């Protein structure tokens, strides 16, 4: 039985004041959740505030990225896994499509970030997904397989026993266009089969999240699919009531 997971990716949003309010509202609602693991991924600069606000709760913290080098040193602008640990992070998002598209992160760099997260004792959330053009060309599975295989090549299949994959079709991120539950399920099932070809036990335990315009109103039908184990939530994670509604859908 895979424990459902809902992670909020706040991206580059928030102020000290808005985050305090969001967490205040979230904490009250999150206390009644039973099963689902809830994670928030704030911008790096707010990690200390979030750590302080969540210390007496079960809500966990993740980072939106991580340096691919484990060692401290001359890596201007990067944040290491050790630093993230110090600020209470349990998870680290790697390979988000915005990092891949806007900052040119390659499959190989994403794989190294995945490895760095594991080396620091963090659980990587590996984001994969196709663009609209790739879907229309019928190459969704090839793209997703390539993104996963780059990590398998570096880290081996056993690494996925301590990792999460988030399937996020790029055309559904921040667009209001959600994949249908069946479209999402088809790719999730493909991902699980791809992992199972190498290790059936790892595939069975692997949590695969769906991300792309998930809201309170469409979460239940997505979470009901057999290979969808939770969500990676962007826009809706900035509104406590929406985010909690998604968490509740994953909880039941
Ligand atoms: C995301 O950025 O990971 C995401 C899924 O965004 P949104 O929920 O806003 O589509």
pLDDT of 218-242, one tens digit each? 999 999 999 999 999 999 999 999 9
Q: Which of 37, 155, 168, 242 is catalytic?
A: 168
- Examine the residue annotation and report whether 168 is marked as an active-site residue of this protein: yes
Please give the helix or strand (H or E) that residue 38 lies within, else none. Answer: strand 37-41
Residue range 185-198: mean pLDDT, rounded? 98
Task: Report the pLDDT value the prediction gives residue 15, as an integer from 0 to 100.
Answer: 98
What would the two tokens of residue 17 be?
């004041």
Q: What is the pLDDT of residues 148-175, one digit of tens each?
A: 999 999 999 999 999 999 999 999 998 9
Task: Report the pLDDT value the prediction gives residue 91, as an integer from 0 to 100.
Answer: 98
Q: Quick one: CA torsion of 172, 176, 182, 187, rounded to 10 degrees? A: 10
Q: Is 161 helix (H, G, I), strand (E, B) or coil?
A: helix
Residue range 63-69: mean pLDDT, rounded? 98
pLDDT at 90 over 90: yes
Q: What is the pLDDT of residues 119-145, one digit of tens each?
A: 999 999 999 999 999 999 999 999 999
Backbone angles phi, psi at 2, to 5 degrees: -90, 130
CA of residue 160 to ligand 1 center, whole Å: 23
Task: State whether the Cα torsion 73-110-96-83 is positive or negative.
Answer: negative
Angle at 213 between CA 209 and CA 216, to 5 degrees: 85
Answer yes or no: is the C-beta of 232 below 6 A from any ligand 1 atom. yes
CA end-to-end span of the chain, whole Å?
Answer: 14
Answer yes or no: is the C-beta of 9 below 6 A from any ligand 1 atom. yes
CA-CA distances (angstroms) from residue 213 to 3, 13, 26? 22, 16, 20
pLDDT at 181 over 90: yes
pLDDT at 252 over 90: no
- Walk me through the domains of the chain, giving residue ranges and CATH numbers: 5-251 (3.20.20.70)
pLDDT at 1 over 90: no
Identify which of 214, 216, 243 to mutate to test ligand 1's pocket (most ligand atoms within 8 A of the CB).
214
Please report which confidence band the pLDDT of residue 71 belongs to, taking 50, 70 and 90 as the band edges.
confident
- Examine the residue annotation and report whether 96 is marked as an active-site residue of this protein: yes
């Amino acid at each position: 039985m895979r424990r459902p997971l809902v992670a909020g990716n706040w991206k580059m949003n928030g102020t000290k004041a808005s985050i305090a309010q969001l967490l205040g509202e979230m904490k009250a609602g999150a206390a009644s959740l039973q099963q689902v693991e809830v994670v928030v991924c704030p911008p790096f600069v707010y990690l200390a505030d979030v750590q302080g606000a969540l210390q007496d709760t079960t809500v966990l913290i993740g980072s939106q990225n991580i340096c691919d080098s484990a060692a401290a040193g001359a890596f201007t602008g990067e944040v290491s896994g050790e630093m993230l640990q110090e600020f209470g992070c349990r998870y680290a998002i790697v390979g988000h499509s915005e990092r891949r598209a806007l900052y040119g992160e390659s499959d190989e760099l994403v794989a190294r970030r995945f490895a760095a997260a594991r080396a620091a004792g963090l659980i990587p959330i590996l984001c994969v997904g196709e663009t609209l053009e790739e879907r229309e060309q019928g190459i969704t599975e090839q793209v997703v397989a390539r993104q996963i295989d780059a990590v398998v090549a570096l880290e081996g299949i056993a690494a996925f026993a301590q990792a999460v994959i988030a399937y996020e079709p790029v055309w559904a991120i921040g667009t209001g266009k959600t994949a249908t539950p069946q479209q999402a399920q088809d790719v999730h099932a493909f991902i699980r089969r791809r992992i199972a070809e190498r290790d059936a036990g790892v595939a069975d335990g692997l949590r695969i999240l769906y991300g792309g315009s998930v809201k309170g109103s469409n979460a239940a039908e997505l979470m009901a699919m057999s290979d969808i184990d939770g969500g990676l939530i962007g826009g809706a994670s900035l509104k406590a009531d929406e985010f909690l509604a998604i968490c509740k859908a994953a909880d039941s």
